[in-house]
Amino acid sequence: MLDILLLRKDLESAVARLETRKKPQAFLNVEAFQSLESERKGLQTRTEELQAQRNQLSKQVGMLMGKGDKDGAEAAKAQVAQIKAELETSATRLEQIQGELQTMLLAVPNLPHESVPVGSDESGNVEVRRWGTPKTFDFEPRDHVDVGTPLGLDFDMGVKLSGSRFTVMKGPIARLHRALAQFMLDLQTEAHGYTECYVPYAVNTDSLKGTGQLPKFEGDLFAAKKGGQDGEPVPDHAALYLIPTAEVPLTNFVRDQVVAEAELPIKLTAHSPCFRSEAGSYGRDTRGMIRQHQFDKVEMVQIVHPDKSYEALEEMTGHAEVVLQKLGLPYRVMSLCTGDMGFSAAKTYDLEVWLPGQSNYREISSVSNCEAFQSRRLQARFKNAQGKNELLHTLNGSGLAVGRCLVAVLENYQNADGSVTVPEALKSYLGGQTLLKP
């Protein structure tokens, strides 16, 4: 959530930065905001005037009573009672205004950092660097569907059990998928210093509001319906949703907390399934595993001092890159433009891996600095050197998306006979196996 003081101080500048983002996501009803702010200021000014009058009249009551002027004292008391009633009405309206402003701000995305390239969509993203050279095949490379199906990828069974955009893995392919996740977890914990966590796969609405998925993006979530006691409906505040990413529970570790500065940075990782309805993606990536309703991811989260967050962004991007480097998968790093960034991000790097079956680079990780946007919603703070509470900065990133990494391994390590060579980094996770054969 944006700092309302920033909007009050320089609304025009903030709106100009928001307008560079993709609409209607960047919607802020400026007229409604200004109207509420004007009313709020008027009420607060009137409240201060009334409080001063009440204090003055209260003193007069004592003085008049001391002089024996009962009529004058009663008249003053009546005025005090009228002022009290007006103050109570004003306090109620002020609370309503604050609630309306809060609701309005919950729908407004983060402000892009000044270093983010301006653009309307993914065509405005800027390549930062590349690593590796795409392999030249002496045969026509196939996509992961054709390579993986003989190895245990079963799309028909996924449709039978759940519907479109669900996949079943069996045998060698299931073991390869598990090996990738284990390899990523070991790398992030042992080499990069993250603490491994196991988190709930269903979270409450407070958790999703804290990281920015609710209320604006409820359509992208899967609700986890549960029955009430004795047939009673479950109240809204008890609703649960399947996690769209482990970022949600991990970042919420610090919700309503004040941590010591000495505890920073907090570095957390978790392997979990992720559930996304993919609202608005109808017709996109319908073949294979690129865009699924359920997929696995090893998530990285850092919670840091505000002065360190952009240093942490570069570090986390490097932590995701190492996974691809150790697997020998060519990739490029893209700085997302203002129109392609996620709701909570101030700056994002995407890692895009080379897929020979598509002759294209495809996203396999996003690493974002949210600055204080999530912390303000979460009330996640630390006690600074001056002993004052200050908002933390939060970052999140994939380290990596396991299913898309599986796709990349299948396509980059495929052989003409239909087998897949096991990357060197994964051999120990597959019992020394060097080749997956149909």
Interacting residues of 36 by C-beta distance below 8 A, sequence separation 6+: 97, 100, 101, 104
Do 405 and 296 meet the contact criterion of CB atoms below 8 Å apart? Answer: no
Return the structure tokens found at 298: 């090893």
Distances in Å between the alpha carbon of 86 and those of 60, 92, 237?
20, 10, 33
Task: Write out the catalytic residue numbers.
Answer: 276, 291, 363, 366, 404
What residue numbers does the annotated binding site for L-serine cover?
245-247, 276, 299, 396, 398
Residue 205 CA, chain-centre distance (Å), reads 14
Rounded to whole angstroms, the Cα distance separating 174 from 184 reads: 16
What residue numbers does the annotated binding site cover?
245-247, 276-278, 299, 363-366, 396, 398
* Helix, coil or strand: residue 216: coil
* Helix, coil or strand: residue 381: strand
> What is the CB-side half-sphere exposure of residue 353 using CA atoms within 13 A?
29
Q: Is the peptide bond before 7 cis (omega within 30 degrees of 0)?
A: no
Residues 83-113 as b/e (b if ≥16 CB within 10 A, e otherwise) read: beeeeeebeeeeeebeebbeebbebbbbbbb
Residue 392 CA, chain-centre distance (Å), reads 15
Return the structure tokens found at 26: 């960047």
